Amino acid sequence: MSVFDEKRAELDRFEFMMGVERGRLAVALDLLTDSLIMVGQHGVYCASSRNPAKPALDLQAVLAGIEGAKALIQSVMEELRAQREAGRAESGLVG
């Protein structure tokens, strides 16, 4: 089953509220956030032997990758919003 089937209700809701592109990015952010939570919970049980206050190095790498992906998606969403607002301003629809 694809993500489009699994998350159909969320996709429909966010695409309606934000447009197709930003809606799909919002659902992707939710999926990444859920993944961060699961990896973070796993990190509690898989602590680093060098520093027990931190997760194991492989989990730290996964967390950093997911957080980086979230930052990139957020920047794209912001850019799309800015482009939409610029288009409205050019057409005189601001207000």
pLDDT tens-digit map of 21-32: 999 999 999 999
What's the token pair of residue 64? 């950093």
Identify whether 73 is part of a domain: yes
Higher pLDDT: 53 or 6? It is 6
Domain span at 21: 3-90
The C-alpha atoms of residue 38 and residue 44 are separated, in whole angstroms, by 10
Identify whether 65 is part of a domain: yes
Q: pTM value?
A: 0.78
The count of domains in the chain is 1
Higher pLDDT: 30 or 88? It is 30
What's the token pair of residue 5? 């089937």
Identify whether 95 is part of a domain: no
Task: Give, as one character, the DSSP assignment of residue 47.
Answer: B
Q: Is residue 11 a contact partner of residue 23, using CB atoms and an 8 Å limit?
A: yes
